[in-house]
Chain A
Amino acid sequence: MNEDLRRERDSASFNPELLTHILDGGAERTQRRKEIEALVLNDPDFQHEDLNFLSRSQRYEEAIRKSALMVVKLRKYGIADPDEIYWFKRCVHHGRAEPLDLHLGMFLPTLLTQATLEQQDRFFMPAWNLEIIGSYAQTEMGHGTHLRGLETTATYDPATQEFILNSPTVTSIKWWPGGLGKTSNHAIVLAQLYTQGQCKGLHAFIVPIRQLGTHEPLPGITVGDIGPKFGYDEMDNGYLKMDNFRIPRENMLMKYAKIEPDGTYVKPVSDKLTYGTMVFIRSIIVGDSARSLSKACTIAIRYSSVRHQSELKPGDPEPQILDYQTQQYKLFPLLATAYAFHFVGAYMKMTYYRITGDINEGDLSELPELHALTAGLKAFTSWIANAGIEECRMACGGHGYSRCSGLPDIYVTFTPCCTYEGENTVMMLQTARFLIKSYTQVCSGQLVSGMVSYLNDLSGQHIQPQQVAARPTAVHINDPASLVEAYKLRASRFVEVAAKNLQAELNRRKSREDAWNRTSVDLVRASEAHCHYVVVKLFTTQLSEINDAAVHAVMNNLCLLYALYGISKHTGDFLQAGILTDAQVTQVYQRVKELLAAIRPNAVALVDAFDFHDNCLASVLGRYDGNIYENMFEWAKKSPLNKTEVHEAFHKHLKPKQAKL
């Protein structure tokens, strides 16, 4: 092991394993996770060449191979628990998307929840056995966020008892669905249902798209890959165009809405369950934000302990770059953020399980709030992780830019989170809508509960503009609980400002929508402040659950850093609202710098606690043993440009022209 890293590990003040247990949710779970990971890591079937050297087609092929194998092995090992499947899959695909994601994550579950028993008989077992592979085709080229705007049509023909599917315009071509381009032979297609001359809105249809046997597209179907992307090389995101393509009536998913043979439409009973699914997916994205940022921090912090550069003291050897304050200032707040987001993800998942428990007992009262608030948390965490990963990459200087660092890959794999499952700005505005609604409720004298209960303090009857600002400032900058209060005040002020500005726009006799649009910058700000408060609060709450004193001490510092750094980046908010004084702001800056120094000796142990196996990290710079330079050289030698000693471009272009010039 590299000497610098050994020294860092020896001097840690706590046992990283204990922290790993906390992150995993218990020592037993850590052990089980490692067992599952070992199944993959020790399996030669899952070994392959470094993906950085493969073309897109090769990467796709490799992913398909591993995915098919994965499904077989999971069943062979009898791994059925969702978390365990997730661990296994994560290890097989290094956290990347893969062509069967939509089949396993959307096609199969949709069959379970929306198909009739007859349909399940026809489709589920073949799909379970991968004889049918399905994608989930919702988004169109011209339509994403606004579902009602989708243009694909399914027109019912009672004469033949078929639906006729059409993509009437170029903008209506299904675009982006994963696994659609090359892999799937079926798709669940969302289309506007027309029957008896009327549009009945969006419904889902099971559409065969490729011939079984030849895998050629069926007549009337145009399907293909949408081309290269920023990342997602393994994934054949596809397009699908349908021209008068007919499917039997029985292929509409009819557990809820139905079409009778004569074309009569039977309305669905309303269902709130979709809220639950969305909350669950968002909790996964928040967890992914934490995880991707943790990986990036692991790489950057290990590399910064091994890399030596310039001089701090004239005459001394070059110091580890982690000893520079500017480097600490880039990385440690991100490290704290990674931990904070981890706890947020865990909280969301736990709440989801608790509430779905309630659903089974019929109590759905908390779902709308949770749905509205998790929208913002998805956006808040993915935005910050997105920027943070890049910050980590840039903190690794030139070598961070090489794909051997693994950082470009983590970034391009993560960044679409800001867009899919709800574009972030749209998500923030959804949360804002809930905040404004809660605020209005409080103003009309009702109390609100849950994470927004702080709005009750805005004393319902008459809220003065200076209400919050006039509060006595008693923030203790070394007390996490007091900082939670400070964030709470900031959030309530921004909600109040947004609500008042919205009202002012409405008073100018603007339409509700117009007024909303003109206030949206304020509204997003209010949501961000609310989410920030929630994150600080959850991190702080987590502290009390840590029993080991040494771990508690270091986590307390991280929590303080997270809270104080956030303040230092938004001092204007706290100053303008009178939550902090100038003198306190100065103290905050100073305290942040002290905390950087305090965290420095534990930095490597804190990333070790994330417990990423080198294979999963896939980074030469982030190797556990720190032997970076030798391995960069070994890696580079395998580069495609080095396959021949003299590149053919020399013979083709350079040599013949040299004589002429």
Chain B
Amino acid sequence: MPLSLLMAAKEKGFQQSQMAQWNRSGYFRSSGSRDVNPDLETERQTASFSVERLTAILDGGADNTRTRRAVEAVIHSEPGFSRENQYFQSQNERYEAAVRRSVYLKEKMHQMGWTEDGPEIKYCYRALGGDLAFNVHRVFKNSILALGTDEQIAKWIPLADKYHIIGTYAQTELGHGTFLRGLETTAIFDISTQEFTLNTPKISAMKWWPGDLGRSATHAVVFAQLYIKGKCYGLHAFILQIRSLRDHSPAPGVIVGDIGPKMNFEHIDNGYLMLQNINIPRENMLSRFSQVLPDGTYVKRGSDKINYLTMIMTRIHILWIEVIPTLLKACTIATRYSVVRRQSKLNPGDPEAKILDYQTQQQKLLPLLATAYAFHFMNAYVNEFYNKGYTEIRQENFDSLPELHALTAGIKAIITEYCTAGAEVCLRACGGHGYSALSGLPFLYTKLAASCTYEGENTVLFLQTARFLVKCLAAVHSGQPIPPSATYLSSVDSGKCQARTSVDFLKPDIYAEAYRHRATRLLGNAATKLQGLVQSGAEQHEAWNQCTVQLVQAAKAHCHYIVVKNFIDTVEKLRNEAEIQKIVKHLCDLFALHGIFSNTGDFLYAGYISGDQIDMVTASYLDLLAVIRNDAVPLVDAFDFTDESLNSALGSYDGHVYQRLYEWAQKSPTNKQVSQAYARYLKPLFQSALSKL
């Protein structure tokens, strides 16, 4: 219904001006070359495949592409959603703009008939580059849905849905993050009043970081150690009101505020929360899995393992909503800029060359482009695992949970690590202009940089994956069944790479085997070392700590293998799309060979790959750079980001880099506001020169 409404609106024809705006955003790309920088235009004319078709594949079908574009058109046609001045705004202004957009979006969605669980919402988020408030409000709701009883859900969710209350999810404390059992906030049950009393016993126990807490939230789901009659029952979740619904002032006993400027996310009011003897009714403990009865009896029911599923879902969600698209954007900006920017000469007498024609620039950007595709394609793989796990877990079968947990932990860590490093390479690959905020790249990079920490610190996550893998390896040795993602650990290893020529390294079997070998070997070495230490008398935990550097390497190699393997499988599935399959195969080869080229030691060790074979890898890898170079712009065009969503002076579809940079710079407040600096400090200095010059 909402979609058909939208289509109807489109049929009737948006106004001429809106059409023009779409054009500028590059919607009607097939309509050709109006006013595009010729250097970009020529890149598009020689594409070896249909960009539109690849976009549809990336979107998961042409229908999705249509829906997405329709949503983007609606969002971009409303000045209320504009992010035009974002790079000039202060922390206060960015926060206010995000709140404004979020409230407005809520209205708009209502108006368009888009629902919270419909397909449009993620496209709204994409169009707005995630520059919205109340993201943790959603986590607040999800936690009530997961941990609350039916009555609690019925009471709180409708209020939250309408923004009549704004919630936050207060878990992390100033002194405690990763290690949940270490949280210090207390909730003490008082039988006489039937209330919990919540307290922040010391400064390190102050809640710190939760988004939407600093300025917006009226309510919070707070995690605290539950005490009944002096006994600690561990962490539980409580709902409490922290600000007045009337005038938004903090509730008595609540000290709450913003934690101050950060590297990015300045539109989000990450906050602190200190609780001094806050009393809440017994009903405010989220009680789906455990309850405190009026007499103080603690009752546990069912398994709260399902809670892990929420965590896993959040982890997956951020990857494809927040993390991977950000790398895709960075690649789009850097690649387009690299064919517009000309620098030095490749041949005397020629005009200055496009910087993308330099091998060193290709080596920086093209493997990232391949990585972007590799990660985007992981979506289907991870979802398959998740859906299978979800179905089983719903039926109280938790067998697949450890694998799902280990898999998503490792995948989250490797993707955020690579995307963050990648965005930074894009930034520096754009030279000086990349350093300008107007390139959009500092914004994208600093956003990604946070992802290595939130939703599980990466080193901790890799070690969780490693723990799972060590168990799998033990299962292999004892002949027990092995979870699907690790079955490769039991396959037989030839011990030597079979490639004879550099062309052999373009065979997926050859490189998949190499990655498999590496993952198996590194895990085997780490496990052997671990076992050796234990056998020689070290305590288990000490032995573990002494092997963690190796274990992290093993987990990374495992994840790397999974990504390569999935890329290969994706190429296979494109068999009905000859042109696209060809270019995606090139990307897959590049991703795999770049990984070998960058980690030669892992493959050379024990002679799995010989020195001569490494030279073949290098040759094939360098040849691929030149091949993919020709399709680089079409490959980023296929990501199909609107100019508004990129918000970059360097990366726009039309390639008018310098004009845009100049126009945007003139809008800078430093050029508009009258600075006191001249009158106060410079004028007195300059005056005395007047008489002399």
Q: Which residues of A contact B (CB under 8 A)?
A: 52-53, 55-57, 60-61, 64-65, 68, 126, 129-133, 139, 141-146, 149, 170-171, 173, 175-176, 181-183, 185, 212-213, 215, 224-232, 236, 239, 307-314, 318, 323-327, 329-330, 390, 393-394, 397-398, 400-404, 408, 412, 415-416, 418-420, 423-425, 429, 469, 511, 513-514, 517-521, 524, 570-578, 582, 585, 589, 593, 629-630, 632-633, 635-642, 645-650, 652-655, 657-658, 660-661
Contacts and interface: CB of A to CB of B under 8 A. Distances in A.
Contacts of A572: 599-604, 614
Contact of A571 (B166, B442, B454, B604): B604
Nearest to A230: B442
B174 interface: yes
Given A57-B670, A60-B677, A639-B258, 12 more contacts: A170-B658, A173-B658, A236-B670, A318-B179, A326-B548, A326-B549, A398-B454, A408-B446, A517-B359, A573-B600, A576-B611, A649-B100
A227 B686 contact: no
Interface in B229-260: 247-250, 257-260
Interface stretch (B311-319, B339-347, B491-499): B339-347
Contacts of B542: 312-313
A514 B96 contact: no
A398 B209 contact: yes
A239 B662 contact: yes
13 contacts: A64-B677, A142-B342, A213-B687, A227-B88, A227-B665, A310-B178, A312-B545, A514-B346, A520-B358, A573-B600, A650-B215, A650-B248, A653-B103
Interface of B: 87-88, 90-92, 95-96, 99-100, 103, 106-107, 110, 162-164, 166, 172, 174-179, 182, 203-204, 206, 208-209, 214-216, 247-250, 257-263, 269, 272, 341-348, 352, 357-361, 363-364, 424, 427-428, 431-432, 434-438, 442, 446, 449-450, 452-454, 457-459, 463, 539, 541-542, 545-550, 552, 599-607, 611, 614, 622, 658-659, 661-662, 664-671, 673, 675-678, 680-683, 685-690, 692-693
Given A182-B678, A227-B665, A572-B614, A57 B671 contact: no
- A-side interface mostly: helix
Contact of B686 (A185, A393, A661): A185
A231 B264 CA distance: 12
3 tightest CB-CB pairs across the interface, nearest first?
A: A572-B600, A571-B601, A131-B689
A640 B91 contact: yes
A325 B90 contact: no
B542 to A, nearest CB: 7
Nearest to B98: A649
Given A226-B668, A314-B541, A64 B681 contact: yes
Contacts of A224: 665-666, 668, 670-671
Contact of A398 (B428, B453, B603, B622): B453
Contact of A641 (B269, B343, B361, B682): B269
Contact of A403 (B174, B261, B450, B671): B261
A182 B435 contact: no
Contacts, number: 381
Contacts of A314: 541
A632 B162 contact: no
Given A398-B172, A401-B453, A514-B347, A227 B437 contact: yes
A397 B453 contact: yes
Contacts of B352: 146, 149
Given A309-B179, A629-B204, A141 B658 contact: yes
Nearest to A519: B359
Contacts of A326: 459, 463, 548-549, 552
A129 B685 CA distance: 8
A145 B343 contact: yes
Nearest to A72: B685
A275 to B, nearest CB: 20
B596 to A, nearest CB: 9
B458 to A, nearest CB: 8
Contacts of A636: 257-260, 272
Contacts of B358: 517, 520
Given A60-B677, A469-B611, A660-B107, A524 B216 contact: no
A520 B360 CA distance: 6
A141 B162 contact: no
Given A224-B665, A520-B359, A521-B360, A130 B541 contact: no
Contacts of A393: 449
Contacts of A408: 262-263, 446
Residue of B345, B548, B690 with highest tally of chain A CB at under 10 A: B548
A325 B258 contact: no
B346 A309 contact: no
Contacts of A401: 262-263, 449-450, 453
- B-side interface mostly: helix
Contacts of A57: 669-670, 673, 675
Residue of B179, B611, B670 with highest tally of chain A CB at under 10 A: B670
B311 to A, nearest CB: 17
A57 B458 CA distance: 37
B676 A325 contact: no
B341 to A, nearest CB: 8
Contacts of A645: 249-250
Contact of B437 (A126, A228, A323, A642): A228
Contacts of B601: 570-575, 585
Given A633-B206, A658-B163, A402 B681 contact: no
A325 B667 CA distance: 49
Contacts of B348: 513
A424 B361 CA distance: 12
B686 A641 contact: no
A215 B424 contact: no
Nearest to A176: B432
A647 B215 contact: yes
Nearest to A416: B435
Contacts of B437: 227-230
Contacts of A652: 96, 100
Contacts of B599: 572
Given A68-B685, A131-B688, A633-B206, A394 B452 contact: yes
A576 B600 contact: yes
Contacts of B661: 141, 175, 226
B182 A146 contact: no
Contacts of B434: 419
Contact of A404 (B260, B606, B671): B260
Contacts of B95: 641, 647, 649
Contacts of A469: 611
B436 A229 contact: yes
Given A227-B670, A640-B92, A646-B248, A213 B178 contact: no
Nearest to B452: A394
Contacts of A660: 107
Contact of B622 (A126, A327, A521): A521
A421 B529 CA distance: 47
Contacts of B676: 61
B614 A649 contact: no
Given A173-B662, A575-B601, A55 B90 contact: yes
Contacts of A390: 424, 449
Contacts of A56: 669-670
A127 B272 CA distance: 50
A141 B341 CA distance: 10
B58 to A, nearest CB: 29
B347 A513 contact: yes
A332 to B, nearest CB: 11
Residue of B176, B260, B343, B661 with highest tally of chain A CB at under 10 A: B260
B126 to A, nearest CB: 23
B540 to A, nearest CB: 9
Residue of A582, A638, A641 with highest tally of chain B CB at under 10 A: A641
A653 B99 contact: yes
B391 to A, nearest CB: 33
A655 B243 CA distance: 13
